[in-house]
Each structure stands twice: as C-alpha cells, then as structure tokens.
Structure 1
Amino acid sequence: MNSHWTMKTLAGAVLLACAGLAAAATVPAGVKLHETQELVRNNGSEPETLDAALASGVPANNIIRDMFEGLTAADANGKIVPGVAESWKQADAHTWVFKLRKNAKWSNGDAVTAEDFVYSLRRFVDPATASKYAATYGIFLLNAKEIIEGKKPVTEVGVKAVDPYTLEIKTPFPVSFLPEVVSNPQLAPLHKATIEKFGKDWTKPANMVSNGAFTLKDWLVNSKITLAKSPTYWDAKNVQLNKITYLSVEDGNADVKLYESGENDWVYQLPPGTFDKYKAQYPKEIRNTDMLGLRYYSLNNADPVLKDIRVRQALSMAIDRDILAQRVTADGQTPAYGVIVKGTAGADVTAYDWAKWPMDKRVAEAKKLMAAAGVAPGTKIKFSYNTSDYHKKMAIFAASEWKTKLGLDVELEAMEFKVLIKKRTDKDYQMARNGWVADYNDATTFLTLVQCDSDQNYHNSCNRKASALIDEGNQSLDPAKRKALLTQAAKMIMDDYPMIPLLQYTVPRLVKPYVGGYSTTNALDRYRAKDLYIIKH
C-alpha cells in the first residue's frame, strides 16, 4: 500500500517516549472556521472491505484510519504521534512496551484496553482470518510467522497485556521502527464482542463499534461512505470536522468534473497528462507530493511464457520509462528500475546496468533474449488492470512498447479494483498493474513485494539466498551492515526480474483552498480527518 523517518541505533534500551498530547487539527491563529465542518473527498474506488485485518487496498485503509486508531498514528506531515498509546519505549532488543491512555473509548462507551490489542493482533495473524497482510506485519511479531503457517497456536504471538493499560510486544529480531509499523490500520484494536455477535456483518453501519475520531454513518456501495465525528473519542474536543464523505469515483475526468462543480473538495488523482493544464488553471489548488511509493507491473513467474527469465528481462528493457514519465503520466514522477525507491531508509536504490543504454541497444538485446527463449513475434500476453484512465493510458503505452519493439500481441483487460486485487492474490493472471505505497520508512516494506513466502509477493517468485540475506540483515544491530545486506538482497532479487518497476509515485491532485491541514510533505499520502478542517469561505 498500501513509512517513516529516523531509524535509531539500539544502544541498550532505546527510549522513544512521547508526550501524551497527540496533535489534532491545528488551526493557525487568525484562521476563521466555516460553520459547517464537512469534507467530501474522492477515494479512487470502492473499498474491498472495512475490516481492518482484511484491508489491503489504499482506499480501504484511508477510511479505516479515520475509524480505528492504533497504538500510534501518523500525522499530516507523516510524523509518528501517540494514538491509543501515550508513550512507548524499547525495553530491550526484542521488547517494546506501550503505555495506553486511560481515556480512550470505543464508540459504545467501553474503555479501550490492552486486551483489545491482544485480541485484534491474534485475530490478525490467525490463519482462519486469512489476512492478506498477516505475513507483511507478522514478521515483526514473535512467533507470528509460525502461527500464520499453522505451526503454532495464536496464543503464542508475542503480544501481552501486562495490565489493562500496558501492552508488551515481543519481536523476533530488533525492530527499531516498530512505532511506525503499529500506526497501520491492520494493527489497530477491534471490538471483540461486536465481531463475535455479528460475524462478517460487524462492518455494517448499524453494527460497527470503532475507537477512532469518526464512526461509520452510511455505506452506499460503489457510491460513497459517510463518517460522523465520534463523541466518545478521547481527543474529540480537538477534532474539527463533523462529517466526512468518501466518494468511490474511479474515472479521473469525472472526479475533476465533480470538483469543478463543487460536489467534491479533494480529487483523488489527476488524469494522466493533465497536470500542467490544471496547474495553469488552478495554481492555488494544485497539490503534488513525492511519495515513498512504486508503480510496477506484476509478472506471474509461473506462467508458461513468463517463467523464462529472459522474457521477463526483455519486457522490462523494452519500456522507455523516460517517455512514460515525461509524456504519458507527465506529473513529476521519476523512472524506477528497482524495488527500493529514493528516500527509503535501510537500503540503497539499485538499478539495472542497461538502464543507461541507448534505447536501440536495449531493444536489440531484448529481441535477442526473446528469440533465445523461443518467444516468437505475435505471441499473445494478457495484461490486467483496474478501470481508470490513468492505468489505461499507462497500459496502452506499455502494450505499444511491447508490440512495436518485440512484436508481442497484448490483450488489455480492465476490471474493478477489488476484482484485480483478487486476481493478483489468487495468482490468476499473466501480467497485472500494481503499486505499493510504503507502510513505514524502511526497506522491508518494499522487499515484502518480492520476498519468499510473503503474502504481498504475487509473482510466484522466490530467491532463497536473497531471503537469507534479508534475515541476516534484520538480525544485525549494526545499521550499516544491515543496509549493505538488504541492498545486496534487493539487487539479487531484481536480477531475477520478478516484476517490472516503472515509476516512483507522486500524487498530483486538486484540493480546495479552504481545506485546512493538508500537508505537501506527507510522503505516505496518509491524511487523517482529525487533522483537517474547513476554513470560512
């Protein structure tokens, strides 16, 4: 997905205690608020679920982040701030202790306690839950890997309620950035009694009990989701918005039309090629932020055509990422040739040697590779993507590159986002559009896309030597050694061509000038409604 800032060296016990004051919407002096504190923002597509443990797409996580608060949270600038935990410390190399605030409440008035986190984290790693993120975050919880594989009971996960307001988390290796990891919605507490009473229906508006700044008011499938300010939220007095509406508009042009007609305050993402036009038209409303995120195409490495590494390499070599960035998306994104993007802590960016070659030399080599692999011109390949002008334009460009340079016949297949997610998860595809926004600022968030046994690796690919290097790096207390090992692993994996890196994300959008609290330094593109407010206009 879909962070964050400094990796601290462990010297004995590293203390990362924070003040119990969590920043909410900070309204600058002199700013007058609108009498109606309501925000409408487009969310790009219909969320596949509102169950935090099952969410994998960015649209679902955006909404869940407003309804459920974890131990920590990321503020508008991407800085980690207290959530339900008011302070935390690393007691030893493998132990973190979180002190919970005593005024945190569920929307039904129940107190939020350490046991709620124990329940939700056990449920999260339980194989019966079948979370697509269990292994992604489970690697940071002691015994979670074995639990996910069915080798240990869920009660063995390294999470313990020391007392009602103290939670202890044990990690299998030193994780200096755990406060960033636990800011993710998948690790938020869930209300046990509600889930046990309603089963799968617990996420319906009439049933849901949440602990965040907002509650679920209404859910019109494929249209909009409405949230209302929660009166029981511990920091309710500092929450300005009373209502937030999430639209599920996939068409970028329709999104902009709603914005221009005043029915939408926040465009999800501008259609490709329109950035300069709207920048000139709405100079004070354009927003564009560099992100810790990677656009890439997934390749099914077990597919009869794609199982040959030479074919996968040729497909990657043939795409001119400079033209893609400058003329097709044309919104400030930069070409990417590896799984790690610029600005990521814990590993260096790697790139292929051929990335610097002139295109005619690249094409000549790619043709040789295809011929050696026995793939003749006219060979058909199916490419799956989710319905959106943005992804369609990129897909048409890529298909044209493969057709004109390699003679391949690419069939483009558009579908709803949740259908694409299922196709990728089931590994029921040949090639598929994909993208990843960091969940925390460390190389492991990107390596999860290509690592052996990861639930985010949809490629049927595995390099055991590289995975061993990642494990060795994670066990190291020396940041320089860890970085070298993770960089080496990333390069080794990308030399197998499991996927095609394309661009490092930016998020070009229009946001009304009266939406206060929006930051352009948020590299994870996470905005909590509690940090936002509507200025008088």
Structure 2
Amino acid sequence: MNNKRLVTLVTIFILLFSLAGCSGQPAGNEAQQEQNQDKGQSAKTSLVYNLGPQPRTIDPATCDEVYGFTVIDNVFEGLARYDKKGNPEPGMAESWETSGDGLTWTFHLRDAKWSDGKPVTAKDFEYSWKRALAPDTASPYAYQLYYIKNAKAYNEGKADASEVGVKAIDDKTLQVTLESPTLYFLTIVSLPISYPVREDIIKEHPEDWTNNPQTYIGNGPFKMTEWVNNDSFTFVKNENYWDAQNVKLENLTFTLMTDENTALSAFKSGEVDYIDIVPPLEIPNLRDEGLLNTVLTMNTTMIEFNTTKKPLDDPRVRKALSLAIDRKTIVENITKGGEKAAGGLVAYGFPDAEQGKDFREVGGDYYPVDRADVETAKKLLAEAGYPDGKGFPKLTYIFNDRSTNKEIAQALQQMWKQNLGIDVELKTEEWQVFVQDVISGNYEMTRMGWQAEYVDPIAMLELFTTGSPNNDPRWSNKEYDELIKTAKTSTDQRARMEALHKAEDIIMEEMPIAPIFYSVKQNVVKPGLKDYIVLPNNGVVLFRNAYWEN
C-alpha cells in the first residue's frame, strides 16, 4: 500500500488482483453518435447498467448489500480508493504516514469538494466515523471500524464519542489512533463504512436524506439526479470531483431489473449496455459471441441455518444437511457460469502467510466437493435421532426471487429428500422482504451470498463472531471469537493465518453455514466499454474511469 512506513509489508500482505475491463459496442441514437463524431467527440458518453434489486439503503453507514454499495461507491469516496488493479491508492487523502509504533495514522486531505461545491474537510470524516459507530445508527458494519481506539466501546455504549481515536486536527488533517497496529488499515479506509457524509444535511433530514437527489450529496465521481422507485437511478458526472478530468461518462443510469431473462432482453434490444445477472442457459451463446466476461469473486454462496431453531440447534443435523448436497451437480447443471464448488467458508483469492500461497488451497476442502457424502450424512442424522429421516420436522428454506435461486432450491429439496428422506418446503421472497426476514431471524434455512469487503480471510470469518450484526445463524463459539481476536491484533502474519485456519476448522465442524459454491461475476457488456472496474472482493462495479472506445 501507499504508506511511507508499511509499504513493503502491506504490499506483501495484500493480494493483487487484476480487475476486469472488457470491450464493447456503443448503442443509442445513431444520428447523435454521428453528430458527436463529426465534432471529434466520443460517440457515446452515457451508460446504462442493470443494478438488479433496489437497495434497501444507500447510506454508507447502514448499507450491507452489494446493490447499495454499487450506488455508494460511485457517488462517494473515502480517504483511499481502489485503483485499476484493486489496490488502495490516494483518494480524499493525498498522503499519509504512521507513527513508529504503528498506532497513529495521520491523513492529509487534498483540496476536494462535495458535489454541491462545499469543501470536504477532516471534520466530515470525524463526524461520519463517529456517526457509523453511534449505537443509535445500528450500522451492520460498525465492527469494521473497531480497529480504532475505543471504537468498539463507543459502539457498545461503554465509552463517549470524544474518546474514539479519530480527530480532525484541522480542515486538512485527520489523526487516527488504533487499538493495535493493523497492517491492512488502508483497506479499511477504502470501505463505504469510512466514507464521509454531510453532518448539516443529515441533521436537517435525518430520516430521508438518502431518498432525495437534492440531499444525497456525495464527494465521488457521480452525483444522483433522479431515483424512480423500483425502476432506476440516474446520475451525472460530478464536476466538483477532484479527479473529474478523468471521468469520461457524462450520464450514468442504473436500472432495477431482477429477472435474468428480462435483463438480457433489455440488453439485446439496446436499452441496457451492461448486465451481470445472466440466464445460465444463455451463458455459452454469450461467451461464443464475445460478450461475456467472467470474474471469479471472493464471494461464497451458502446456506445459513438458524441455530436457534430446532432441530437446527444440533450441529449433527446441520452437518447432515450440508453433506447431503452434491455441489458439483449444482455448479455444472444449474449455475453453469464457472462457479467453483465450495469446500470451505473462505473462497479462493485470499493470501496466506507464505507469499504466493492461497488461503483456500492451504486449508483444503472440509468434505467432498465432487459428490454428496450420503453415508456420513445419514449416519449423523441417525445419531441426532432421525434415522432415515423418520420424525424429522418439515423445515422451510427461503430464498430471494431469482430464477437461478429457485432452481438451486429445487435441487437442494430433491437432494435432501433422496439422500436423507426428509421434506423441505421452499419459499420465494422479494429481495427486501427476504433480507428483513433473515436479519430478524424469521427463517429456518436460507440462501445467502457473502462477499469480502477487503482482501484478507478475516473479512469472511469475522462475520460469524458472537454478536456480529451479520451473524445471521446466531451461532456462538468462544474459542472461535478468541481466534478472530488474535488475527485482528497480531502483527505476525503467520500467527494471524494460523489463527484464521483454526477458526475455519471450528466453523466448518459446527456448520452453522453450508458453503455451496464460490461465485462469479458474469459481465455482459456491449463492445467498446473500457476501464470499468469490477472489484474482485465484492463484485462492485466502478465507473469512475469508464469510457466508450470509438
């Protein structure tokens, strides 16, 4: 990372990813294109991207889904931002340094403005971070700021905001004091939870500031001009962005289509330039046409078991349900997009202690990924008191409304019936209802996809610590919590990775989640689109430098 003291060590620590850009073809009004070409201008300066479901929130402090993050990451910017290769580079901060003990980071802000022309100051960051940590905000990702001194105590109501280790020294200088040296802290200040928001606007419009383009003021490359509920977002280039000279798109639209076939039809008709939800049956044709670009992301699609519900409070039942799944059949016959059958919680792509080694490869698979282990699954279910499924209650598996999710659910239902002799009811829910049911614990089994927010295995493993807002299974294990704590506070990379491998051993033994596959991002883009960025950790698409090639 670009840090005066930690650059070498952190560069080794962070795995470098080449982010996807692919070529494409301009679409739109031909007469206008010809007119622009006659003027020597780019033929197309607008882009329509299908986001998918409407986000539940686009507040950087409370968002917890990739759809919302995609909006946020194109409207806001943190102290650091991701470059084309996926590494943090200067964003709102043009430089920074650390103290000799690694506990104090000092960030020096550049001359930057909000989209309404007001200057971005260090005070904006101090306010925003403390707002995200405030107990009343109920931020699901507040824990990502726990590296800061007294941040956890404040979030838990055990300390005052004034005790949190973030302070604006002056308008251009932000000083951050950490609980312990954190090698990857620069990745934390690149996350949405650390983006600045406007105190004056939020105080005047505390409940609905994100709903109105007039109050949704950002400091990033684009600014929102319209939001049509359940239809689309519209953005224009933010002329006040510090790097506006490198923002080539003048207009950006996010449509909100959730059905893969509908989105593909819109793409083929020219209404949409870029989609990343694709009907599995169409993948071979799109690949042959040169329109498909596949990116393996650090995203694990899994089943979450509500461990507070009987009989799912018994790890033998959870393991039986997991081992009865034929993951190879799902990725080869249903998803068909290059997904990898998952043999553990942490996906491929995360660095291990030894340079060049991958955490997943070092950890290996915890069960067969090329078949169901029916014998062991049946034995475990019998030990739990349900031989051949006798007496097993009917459970309900919920999932959000996408056709692929339905096909996977039906395959799981059949596998559990055939391999364990149990009946499972399927229930489809609209996205926002689905997410609320999962968050509130109103489910027994559910489909969920989790992506890493930064390139370290702890980004996945810390989700399931006791009390984590993202611990949907409501699972708790003290040894697991201690191992995650060790990995967070140690500056010895080998000790960190050893602790994280042991933590994964525990969660895969108790199985509050059943990984199914490691996801991919299927990008279908019209030829000619260049320099868009797909973040490999979470699949968010950045259009900061995107442009259409003539």
Distance 1:520 1:254 in 2: 23
Q: Does 1:169 align with 2:176?
A: yes
1:263, distance to aligned residue in structure 2 (A): 0.4
Work out which of the residue numbers 369, 381, 384 in structure 2 matches 1:373.
384
1:13, distance to aligned residue in structure 2 (A): 10
Work out which of the residue numbers 203, 206, 215 in structure 2 matches 1:199.
206
Q: Does 1:460 align with 2:468?
A: no
1:355, distance to aligned residue in structure 2 (A): 1.9
Which residue number in structure 2 is paired with residue 67 of structure 1?
Answer: 75
Q: Does 1:440 align with 2:485?
A: no
Work out which of the residue numbers 392, 402, 417 in structure 2 matches 1:403.
417
Which residue number in structure 1 is paired with residue 368 of structure 2?
Answer: 355
1:94 aligned partner, one-letter code:
L
SS at match of 2:105: strand
Which residue number in structure 2 is paired with residue 317 of structure 1?
Answer: 323
Instruction: Tell me: CA distance 1:441–1:44, structure 2 relative to 1, closer, same or farther (3 Å).
Output: same
1:476 aligned partner, one-letter code:
S
2:383 aligned partner, one-letter code:
A
Q: Does 1:156 align with 2:163?
A: yes
1:257, distance to aligned residue in structure 2 (A): 0.4
1:301 aligned partner, one-letter code:
T
Distance 1:214 1:50 in 2: 14
1:187 aligned partner, one-letter code:
S
Distance 1:356 1:390 in 2: 20
Q: Does 1:97 align with 2:110?
A: no
SS at match of 1:201: coil
Work out which of the residue numbers 133, 142, 145 in structure 1 matches 2:141.
133
Q: Does 1:264 align with 2:277?
A: no
Contact 1:190 1:210 in 2 (8 A): yes
Which residue number in structure 2 is paired with residue 119 of structure 1?
Answer: 127
Instruction: Tell me: CA distance 1:518–1:10, structure 2 relative to 1, closer, same or farther (3 Å).
Output: closer
Superposed CA offset, 1:453-486 (max 9, x none): 2221111101111211221233222111211111
Contact 1:290 1:523 in 2 (8 A): no
Superposed CA offset, 1:150-188 (max 9, x none): 111223222111221111222222211111121112210
SS at match of 1:454: coil
Superposed CA offset, 1:218-251 (max 9, x none): 0011110111111211111221111110111110
RMSD between superposed Cα atoms in Å: 2.6
Which residue number in structure 1 is paired with residue 463 of structure 2?
Answer: 449
SS at match of 1:296: strand
Q: Does 1:413 align with 2:419?
A: no
Which residue number in structure 2 is paired with residue 214 of structure 1?
Answer: 222
Q: Does 1:44 align with 2:58?
A: no
SS at match of 1:302: coil
1:139, distance to aligned residue in structure 2 (A): 2.5
Q: List aligned pairs for 1:235-254, cutoff 5 A.
A: 235-254=243-262
1:420, distance to aligned residue in structure 2 (A): 1.8
Which residue number in structure 1 is paired with residue 287 of structure 2?
Answer: 279
Which residue number in structure 2 is paired with residue 387 of structure 1?
Answer: 401
Distance 1:353 1:79 in 2: 31
Instruction: Tell me: CA distance 1:149–1:519, structure 2 relative to 1, closer, same or farther (3 Å).
Output: closer
1:35, distance to aligned residue in structure 2 (A): 3.9
1:78 aligned partner, one-letter code:
G
Which residue number in structure 1 is paired with residue 296 of structure 2?
Answer: 290
Contact 1:46 1:59 in 2 (8 A): yes
Distance 2:84 2:9 in 1: 29
List structure 1 runs of 4+ shifted beyond 6 angstroms.
5-9, 11-16
Distance 2:7 2:45 in 1: 46
Q: How many residues align?
A: 514
Distance 1:15 1:78 in 2: 12
Which residue number in structure 2 is paired with residue 530 of structure 1?
Answer: 544
Which residue number in structure 2 is paired with residue 470 of structure 1?
Answer: 484
Of the structure 1 ranges 123-132 and 92-101, higher mean CA displacement relative to structure 2 is found in 92-101
Q: Does 1:345 align with 2:327?
A: no
Distance 2:165 2:467 in 1: 20
Distance 2:44 2:483 in 1: 54
Distance 2:534 2:471 in 1: 30
1:356, distance to aligned residue in structure 2 (A): 6.7
SS at match of 2:81: strand
Which residue number in structure 2 is paired with residue 227 of structure 1?
Answer: 235
2:102 aligned partner, one-letter code:
A
Distance 1:194 1:427 in 2: 33
Superposed CA offset, 1:475-500 (max 9, x none): 22211121111111121222111101
1:7, distance to aligned residue in structure 2 (A): 12
1:402, distance to aligned residue in structure 2 (A): 0.9
1:520, distance to aligned residue in structure 2 (A): 7.0
Of the structure 1 ranges 54-63 and 473-482, higher mean CA displacement relative to structure 2 is found in 473-482
Contact 1:76 1:527 in 2 (8 A): no
Distance 1:288 1:497 in 2: 30
Which residue number in structure 2 is paired with residue 364 of structure 1?
Answer: 375
Contact 1:7 1:176 in 2 (8 A): no
Instruction: Tell me: CA distance 1:288–1:352, structure 2 relative to 1, closer, same or farther (3 Å).
Output: closer
Instruction: Tell me: CA distance 1:358–1:115, structure 2 relative to 1, closer, same or farther (3 Å).
Output: closer
1:293, distance to aligned residue in structure 2 (A): 1.4
Superposition TM-score, scaled by structure 1 size: 0.90
Which residue number in structure 2 is paired with residue 19 of structure 1?
Answer: none
Contact 1:191 1:209 in 2 (8 A): yes
Distance 1:417 1:144 in 2: 32
Work out which of the residue numbers 36, 56, 61 in structure 2 matches 1:53.
61
Instruction: Tell me: CA distance 1:495–1:13, structure 2 relative to 1, closer, same or farther (3 Å).
Output: closer
Superposed CA offset, 1:367-398 (max 9, x none): 12112212434631111111111211221111
Of the structure 1 ranges 168-177 and 433-442, higher mean CA displacement relative to structure 2 is found in 168-177
Structure 2, unmatched stretches of 5+, are: 13-20, 24-36, 354-358
Distance 1:497 1:454 in 2: 17
Structure 1, unmatched stretches of 5+, are: 17-24
1:401, distance to aligned residue in structure 2 (A): 1.0
**Identity percentage of aligned residues:** 33
Work out which of the residue numbers 240, 252, 255 in structure 1 matches 2:263.
255
Superposition TM-score, scaled by structure 2 size: 0.88
1:315 aligned partner, one-letter code:
L
Contact 1:42 1:264 in 2 (8 A): yes
Contact 2:66 2:538 in 1 (8 A): no
